[in-house]
Structure 1
Amino acid sequence: MDKKIIVITGASGTGKTTISKYLKDTYHIPSVITHTTRLPREGEKNGVDYYFETKNSFLKNHYLEKVEYSGNWYGSSEESLKKTWEKFDAASIVVDTAGAISYKKKYGKNAVVIFLEVDFETVTDRLKQRGDETKRLLSRINSDEFKRDLQIPRELVGKCYKISNKNLENTKENVNKVLKLEKIK
């Protein structure tokens, strides 16, 4: 069987991490641990939620994609994906749309891209609820990256699954359909 990477993308607050957790809890599909220079949020652990890096240590990895977002670096390394594939046939990863394009280009049919979308009002409510401070929230929703990630990039049109995540139960059903279509689990 081919190894698969389920690439979950969309703007901040669309539920990417929630869906990644659903895949892990329901199908035992682990998420590839990504790297960041941002500080951990309450309850996050190094090597579990992210590899929390300094700016110097961040630059020492081999990245499939990396991006600076709201003053912090984020990236996914080839080493982390290969380590996950040694133990599992499928893994998930949460990335922005630029990262999703990189994965699709590199892995083709083995990269199953799920684009999550939610209306702007719901996204801003979710970001407030998760504790982002107002200044950071405004900076984030006004960033070019956030605006870019609100829609499917042309490079992924016809090459990804678009799921509206207004209702979590419906979203889970749609994710189940994608896994069945892609013969994952």
Structure 2
Amino acid sequence: MDKKIIVITGASGTGKTTISKYLKNTYRIPSVITHTTRLPRDGEKNGIDYYFETEDSFFKNHYLEKVEYSGHWYGSSEESLNKTWENYDAASIVVDTQGAISYKERYGENAIVIFLEVDYDTVAQRLKLRGDDHKRLISRINSDEFLRDLRIPKELEGKSYKIVNNDIEITKKKVDQIIKSEKVN
């Protein structure tokens, strides 16, 4: 059986991490741990939520994609994906839309892209409730990357699943349908 990577993408606050956790808890599909130079939020742990890196250590990895966002680097390494695939036939990853394009180009049919969309006001409210620093929140929701990630890129149209995530229970049911139709589990 071919290894699968479920690529979850969309703007910050659209529910990407929630869906990744749902896949893990419901289908035992682990998430590939990505790397970042930002500091951990309360409760986040190194090697579980992210590999928290220094600027120096970050650039020693081999990345499938990396991006600088709000003054910090984020990336997913080949090492982390291959390590996950050693033990599982499927994994999920949360990336921005540019990262999703890279995965689709590299893995083709084995990359199942799920684009989550929420309207701007809802996303802004979710980020505020998440406890992000106000100045950083304003900077983030006005960034070119955030505004870009609110809409599905043309490179993924017809090659991905789009879910409007206004109700998490409906979104979970749609994810269940995708897992079934793609024969992931």
What corresponds to 1:15 in structure 2? 15
TM-score, length-normalised on structure 1?
0.99
Partner of 1:181: 181
Cα deviation digits, residues 37-72 of structure 1 (max 9, x gap): 000000000000000000000000000000000000
* C-alpha separation in 1, matches of 2:101 and 2:121: 26
- Deviation, 1:134, is 1.1
- 1:41-120 alignment runs, 5 A limit: 41-120=41-120
Deviation at 1:20, TM superposition (A): 0.1
Deviation at 1:125, TM superposition (A): 0.6
Could you say what the CA RMSD is over the residues aligned between the two structures, in angstroms? 0.4
**Shift in Å at residue 133 of structure 1?**
1.4
> Aligned residue for 1:142?
142
Cα distance in 2, alignment partners of residues 67 and 127 from structure 1 = 20
Identical residues among aligned pairs (%): 77
State the SS of the aligned residue for 2:5.
strand
Q: Give the Cα–Cα distance (whole angstroms) in 2 for the partners of residues 122 and 43 of structure 1.
A: 24
Counterpart amino acid of 2:119? D
- Provide the rounded CA distance (Å) in 2 between the counterparts of 1:155 and 1:117: 16
Q: Report the Cα distance in structure 2 between the residues aligned to 1:94 and 1:133, rounded to whole angstroms.
A: 22
Structure 1: how far apart are the matches of 2:137 and 2:46? 24
The AA in structure 1 aligned to 2:86 is E
The residue number in structure 2 matching 1:126 is: 126
Deviation at residue 83 of structure 1 after TM alignment? 0.2
- Quick one: distance in 1 between partners of 2:81 and 2:40? 21
Provide, for residues 75-121 of structure 1, a one-character-per-residue CA deviation record: whole Å limited to 9, x for no partner.
00000000000000000000000000000000000000000000111
Taking structure 2 as the reference length, the TM-score comes to: 0.99
Alignment-mate amino acid for residue 22 of structure 2: Y
Whole-angstrom distance in 1 between the partners of 2:147 and 2:164: 17
State the Cα distance separating 1:21 from its structure 2 match.
0.2
Q: Distance between the aligned counterparts of 1:23 and 1:70, measured in 2? A: 28
